[in-house]
Amino acid sequence: MKKKRNLKKILRSWQLYVLLLPAAVWIIVFAYYPMYGLLIAFKDFKIREGIISSPWAEPLFKHFAQFFQTSIAVTAIKNTVVLSLLSLFITFPIPIIFALLLNQVKNGKIRKAVQTISYAPYFLSSVIIISIISLLFSTEGLINNIITSLGGKAIFFTSLAEWFRPLYIGSGIWQSMGFNAVIYIAALLSISPDYYEAATLDGASIFQKIKYIEIPLLMPTIILMLILTVGNIMNVGYEKAYLMQNGTNTMVSELISTYVYKAGLQSAQYSFATAVGLFNSVVNFIILLLSNAIAKRFSDISIF
Amino acid sequence: MKKGILNNDRFFRYGVYALLILISIIILYPLYYVLIASVTDPAVVGSGKMLLFPKELYLEGYRQMVKYTPLWRGYMNTVLQTVIGTTIAIGITIPAGYALSRRDLPGRRKIMFLFTFTMFFNGGLIPMYLTVRKVGIYDSIWGVILPVALSVYNLIVCRSFFESSLPEELLDAAKIDGCSDFGYFFWIGIPLAKTIIAVLCLFYATGFWNQFFYPLMFLGSEDKMPLQVVIRNLILLNQSKAASSIGRSAIEGAKMAQQLKYCVVVASAAPLLAVYPFLQKYFARGITIGAVKG
């Protein structure tokens, strides 16, 4: 009886399913079919034989084991983790601080101008960002001109390994600070004026209002964004890392994802590269579930 | 109770303004510098004497750029990919976003989960590459459009928009008047969705315009490559030397090569930077809706 009623409901909504159809086809072809393709991590995949007919790897985890035997594995894992943690600790808080600062500006025009300026770099591609870095930080670029005119010695920023991380993190902040602040700015705007009035009556300073009203009320948003950021922690922007890579900095710039690209597409080791990529995704997914569970436990905020 | 400079409101406010001015300069100056370097004699740029204003106007770089055909071919490819890609993406996202916003859609939560799950777990690079080959769109414009023709994040933004802007009473009233789901979507939903369409156009168009990795992987032929790949070759792989040394002395060529790089960055970044300020009031809203209710 109930089933029949459900069926009727589904049939009655057929037009809604039609509207959903293109997206459903897309997700099957370009999201779930590739997931099925992950099977080749456990096979000796040959393009001609296809996913089904290619023989299973023996042992099943052969390609994973192979990855951990390479010297590059440790380097790539370490680089990925270090770069993500640096991004998390340095990059994550900055949009929050920027939003708090901007929230102090009561003049609408100035506020809007600063905000507009702050998003600009978000619309630039990784290629353009890295190109700008290479132009400004090259030996004859702006930064080295300033250094030499102050009597210093030119630094090979773009080729030295120790400058890879600062440039990567710094350009990331430069590019995304304004855009990532949007959500905090909106949350700050929704704080009721009553809190501020009460605080003013008590003689609170601006700094105290930020500390005791704004930051606590921003907390739910911050935690939500933190879960999302942590849930993507192993997916550091490989495009940028790949573009910044050169012969001298691979020891710090080789990430799991750039290695997957090279092993998979440049040297056609499909099964091996898929295994490496799968390892990365699984670790990432576990971290996401953990951070979600922790946040749920301590703050009632979660994405699932 | 209140002590220290942080609690002095006047100083605090000065500090805030000073920091914001500093931040604005740090963000704008590199872009401005690239712009003025693109019209200044490269010798002056290289000597570090140009900091605030263009000096010794020199437009050879732009002249060279206009003549450099691979760049324009890349530009054309990018424009084409952006226009077609954005149109398709909007055509997929808006109807789906609407359908998922309907609380009476049977199976809504389960379907939503199937979409959301792919945001956090996916097949990755190689399986995507094999999919593109299998579907038969490798080395065609579809190879760089279809794999990114839907962003689940944008879909969630769109769904939340419809949820918050179409009151349920309106739907009930329309249904009593005999309005079908199609009719409601086309005659009431879409006209109210101008904001979200503008936001999603901006997001998708930016994504298509800036695509680099997928074209590199999914296109085989040089003449289909979009602007970003051409720029990468010019600037980061230093092909600009070869491009500008034709018919010039070595010194002249090297000088040109350097300026050409600045010009190319300007030409690629300008369209998006010119458009986004007009759309920003929309997209701030778009992000907020998506993130709060996503």
Regarding the domain delimited by B85-210, which CATH topology (the fold level of the hierarchy) does it fall under?
Answer: MetI-like fold (1.10.3720)
Mean per-residue pLDDT, B160-181: 87
Please list, in sequence order, all residues whose beta carbon lies within 8 angstroms of the beta carbon of residue A99, skipping any fewer than 6 positions away: A181, A184, A185, A188, A218
Find the closest chain A residue to B107 by CA distance. Answer: A10
Q: When comparing pLDDT for B45 and B121, which is higher?
A: B121
Residues 6+ apart with CB under 8 A from A74: none
Best to test chain A binding among B109, B126, B255 (most A CBs inside 10 Å) = B126
A24 with B118: CB under 8 angstroms?
no
Q: How many domains does chain A have?
A: 1
Does A136 sit within 8 Å of B272, measured CB to CB?
A: no
- Distance from the Cα of B199 to chain A's closest Cα (Å) equals 13
- Asked whether the predicted pLDDT for residue A20 surpasses 90, the reply is yes
End-to-end Cα spacing for chain B? 42
| Min Cα separation B14/chain A (Å) | 11
Contact between chains at A33 and B131 (C-beta distance less than 8 A): yes
Q: How far is B276 from chain A (nearest CA, A)?
A: 8
The reply to whether A168 falls in a domain is yes
**Inter-chain contact A6–B106, Cβ cutoff 8 Å?**
yes
pLDDT score of B199: 85
**Residues in chain A closer than 8 A to B139 (CB atoms):** none
| Least confident window among A71-85, A227-241, B190-204, B248-262 | B248-262
Residue B293 has pLDDT above 50, yes or no: no
In a domain, A58, yes or no: yes
Task: State the residue range of the domain holding A191.
Answer: 45-299
Residue A61 lies in a domain: yes
Tell me what pLDDT residue A27 has. Answer: 96
Is A157's Cβ below 8 Å from some Cβ in B? no
Contact A34 B122 (CB under 8 A): yes
CA B249/CA A186 separation, integer angstroms: 56
B12–A205 CB contact, under 8 Å: yes
What residue ranges do the domains of chain B occupy?
A: 5-66+223-293, 85-210
**Whole-number Å distance between alpha carbons of A92 and A105:** 22
Q: Closest residue of A to B278, CA-based?
A: A116
Separation CA B151–CA A60 (nearest Å): 34
Residue length, chain B?
A: 294
For residue B292, what pLDDT is reported? 52
Q: What is the mean pLDDT of residues B128-149?
A: 94
- How do residues B241-278 score in pLDDT, each as one tens digit? 666 666 666 677 777 788 888 899 999 888 888 888 88
Interface ipTM > 0.95: no
For the ranges A154-158, B57-61, B74-78, B117-121, the lowest mean pLDDT is seen at: B57-61
**Contact criterion met (CB below 8 Å) for A284 and B122:** no
Q: Indicate the residue type of B260.
A: L
Domain-located, residue A112: yes
Q: Residue A36: inside a domain, yes or no? A: no
Q: CB of A253 within 8 Å of any CB in chain B?
A: no
> Which 8-state DSSP code applies to residue A104?
T
**Contact indicator for B150, B91 with CB cutoff of 8 Å:** no
CB burial class (10 A; 0-12, 13-18, 19+) of residue B255?
A: buried
Q: Which residue has the tokens 């099964």?
A: A271
Give the C-alpha separation, A177 to A170, whole Å. 10
CA angle B97–B103–B109, rounded 5-degree value: 75
In the prediction, which pLDDT does B28 show?
Answer: 94
Question: In angstroms, rounded to a whole number, what is the distance separating the alpha carbons of residues B217 and B135?
Answer: 15
Contact assignment for B122 to A35 by CB distance below 8 Å: yes
Rounded Cα gap, residues B141 and B256, in angstroms: 32
Write the CATH number for A264.
Answer: 1.10.3720.10
Query: Which among B124, B149, B228 has the least Cβ separation from residue A277?
Result: B124
The pLDDT mean for chain A works out to 88
Q: Is B49 helix (H, G, I), strand (E, B) or coil?
A: coil
Q: How many CB atoms lie within 10 A of CB B217?
A: 20
As a whole number of angstroms, the distance between CA B132 and CA A216 comes to: 47
Query: Cα distance from B105 to chain A (closest Cα, Å)?
Result: 7
8 Å CB contact of B287 and A34: no
Mean pLDDT computed over A234-253: 86
Contacts of A300 (CB under 8 A, 6+ apart): none
CB contacts of A177 in chain B (<8 Å) are 23, 27
> How many other β-carbons are positioned within 10 Å of the β-carbon of residue A149?
11
